[in-house]
Amino acid sequence: MANLFSSSSSSSSSSSSSSSSGFSLSIQAPKMVEKKAKIVIIGAGMAGLMAANKLYTAPGSKDLFDIAVVEGGGRIGGRINTAEFMGERIEMGATWIHGIGGSPIHEIADRIGALNSDQPWECMDGYSGQSTTVAEGGVELSPATVDPISTLFKNLMDFAQGKIAGESNILHQGNYDKLSVGAFLRQGLESYWLSRNGVTEVNGCGEWSQKALEEAIFAMYENNQRTYTSAGELSTLDFVAESEYQMFPGEEITIAKGYLSVIESIASVLPPGLVQLGKKVTKIEWNPEPESRNIPTPVTLHFADGSHTSADHVIVTVSLGVLKAGTREDSALFNPPLPSFKTEAISRLGFGVVNKLFLRLSQPANDGDNPKSNNKFPCLNFVFHQPDSEFRRKKIPWWMRKITTLQPIYQNSSILLSWFAGEEALQLEKLKDEEIINGVSTTISNFLIPRSQNENSESDSNGWSNGHRNRNDTVEFQLNQVLKSQWGSDPLFQGSYSYVAVGSSGEDLDAMAEPLPRTEESPKAPLLQILFAGEATHRTHYSTTHGAYFSGLREANRLLHHYNCI
């Protein structure tokens, strides 16, 4: 997937920023105005701050524009939120630079020196170390068992994303219109089984038949894809649109000094007072037919504190989740309501929930100062029994059954990280810390079986048997601190990032980006009352921070072009 928090991401290099803005550069005389045009930007995330940065720094803009950014929360960054947990630098939201080739986020982070740090940080080693894949019940799986399914899944996703052509012995060729990514993947798995003509290539493991084991491994990769896309179920993710999603070349990395350092750099050019925190917008009044009312400014914003302000132009950068809530019949965020082409696009597009769970081990990852200590938590991949299996461990809570990994945030760290998506992510937000610790600990105990309980297992080079220390079979991992993100229940976001759902299309992302009122609907009206930016308004870079960056740049350039500044 491609996402704000974790997954794969977007487009081709230098051409992206120019094409993303939607305007070619030309020099014109700025439009003369009697008073400064008031521009209010709703939201101080990546899109909003990038729009403000571009507008404020454009030549001559200080004589043309009165700019304000209003943010409902008490911080800048939006879905970028660098934090600390037990002394470790972590990301509660956006985590990865998805490809460094041509990424504006990488360019900024590199320029400000944010890619290196003396302090360790989340994913500093990129999860490139050895991982251990364990099946429910404590069966450690060999690469010979896992790799064929891993390769199959990767090839299917590469085909879905337009990276490779399909092979007839794996893929059913045909019309994929209205097909979901989930249905396509399962079709590919069935074709894989058919291609083997029922021949058993490897034996099952204990309670696991070969087919059940392969299906469960495949499901592990499907669950990982859920966190990439934010689609709670891959059956809701549109297959055709998947190939429109563009990727940056190069490695995926995290930002040593925190993602917030990029946001702070973008905001640093803005003068004090331009960004106003704690200003939650409750109503946006606009005028689809300006000639019917004699008003000096066409848009009025009302705030939760009872105040209001008027503007010539408003750039709305709130999340798609907030727009979905704001366009329901019982909501009055927009008055009058948005036109149908906009509300239908908002309704059709998907907006999911992805949350991160951090847990602290009660004992250090190393014994004392000995760096070669065996007391390390392994980088675990979980293979769960399917819902219809008689071998499912009943004590494992349902909200743990679709996680893919649990691993230290970097090698030897005492902080563990796991990702949750969909209903499981929403449930995580409701649980108390004690319930989370108990649920995770129960899951670990059903995967990391002490050697005395699993005589067929072999110790690895670290002296572990399926992850538990082999020393007297008495040492187990204890968890004592929890930190979780809660994007689904946060009223300022109501989810994590967007995806193209079945029944939607890339055209809906384009519709999201259209300003109001539409030119053809009000040909004589002053244009650009309400503009829209944010990751959910970018057709090929949705769900990413750089998609949000490009969208903010696009809307700023739209206004600069309107006033002949470009």
Claim to verify: residue 148 and residue 243 sit in the same structural domain:
yes
Residues of the chain with pLDDT under 50: 1-2, 7-27, 168-172, 364-374, 451-475
Whichever domain contains 57, its CATH number is 3.50.50.60
Claim to verify: residue 287 and residue 404 sit in the same structural domain:
no
Question: What is the C-alpha to C-alpha distance for residues 305 and 70, in angstroms, rounded to an integer?
Answer: 13
Q: What is the dihedral of CA 211, 213, 218, 219, to 10 degrees?
A: 110
Structural domain that includes position 66: 37-78+258-352+500-563
Claim to verify: residue 245 and residue 358 sit in the same structural domain:
yes
Claim to verify: residue 135 and residue 219 sit in the same structural domain:
yes
The two tokens of residue 134 are 């364990």
Query: What pLDDT is stored for residue 332 in this prediction?
Result: 84
Claim to verify: residue 209 and residue 237 sit in the same structural domain:
yes
The type of residue at 395 is K
Largest Cα–Cα separation, the chain: 85
Q: Is residue 68 part of a domain?
A: yes
Give the containing element (helix H, strand E) for 139: strand 139-140
Whichever domain contains 138, its CATH number is 3.90.660
| C-alpha distances in Å from residue 525, one per residue of 287, 313, 340 | 9, 13, 19
Claim to verify: residue 316 and residue 215 sit in the same structural domain:
no
Contact 512, 339 (CB under 8 A): no
Give the containing element (helix H, strand E) for 360: strand 354-361
Terminal CA-to-CA distance of the chain, rounded, Å?
35
Claim to verify: residue 52 and residue 155 sit in the same structural domain:
no
Question: What is the C-alpha to C-alpha distance for residues 474 and 244, in angstroms, rounded to an integer?
Answer: 52
Claim to verify: residue 318 and residue 229 sit in the same structural domain:
no
3-state secondary structure 379-428: CEEEECCCCCCCCCCCCCCHHHCCCCEEEECCCCCCEEEEEEEHHHHHHH
Claim to verify: residue 406 and residue 440 sit in the same structural domain:
yes
Query: What pLDDT is stored for residue 291 in this prediction?
Result: 61
Question: What is the C-alpha to C-alpha distance for residues 48 and 551, in angstroms, rounded to an integer?
Answer: 9
Claim to verify: residue 298 and residue 358 sit in the same structural domain:
no
Angle, vertex CA 3, rays to CA 557 and CA 156, nearest 5:
120
Give Cβ neighbours of residue 318 (< 8 Å, ≥ 6 apart): 42, 43, 326, 492, 534
Query: What pLDDT is stored for residue 372 in this prediction?
Result: 38
Query: What pLDDT is stored for residue 523 in this prediction?
Result: 56
Instruction: Output DSSP code: residue 453.
Output: G
Question: What is the C-alpha to C-alpha distance for residues 176 and 173, in angstroms, rounded to an integer?
Answer: 9
Q: Is residue 495 part of a domain?
A: no
Instruction: Output DSSP code: residue 451.
Output: G
Question: What is the C-alpha to C-alpha distance for residues 382 and 312, in angstroms, rounded to an integer?
Answer: 54
Query: What pLDDT is stored for residue 49 in this prediction?
Result: 98
Find the length of the chain: 566
Q: Is residue 16 part of a domain?
A: no
Query: What pLDDT is stored for residue 156 in this prediction?
Result: 96
Q: Is residue 547 part of a domain?
A: yes
Question: What is the C-alpha to C-alpha distance for residues 398 and 561, in angstroms, rounded to an integer?
Answer: 53
Q: Is residue 95 part of a domain?
A: no
Question: Three-state SS for 351?
Answer: strand
Q: What is the pLDDT of residues 140-192, one digit of tens each?
A: 999 999 999 999 999 999 999 988 875 544 444 555 667 999 999 999 999 99
Q: Is residue 83 part of a domain?
A: no
Claim to verify: residue 333 and residue 262 sit in the same structural domain:
yes
Domain count, the chain: 2
Q: Is residue 84 part of a domain?
A: no
The type of residue at 255 is I
Q: Is residue 317 part of a domain?
A: yes
Claim to verify: residue 245 and residue 273 sit in the same structural domain:
no
- Any bridge partners for residue 307, and if so which? none
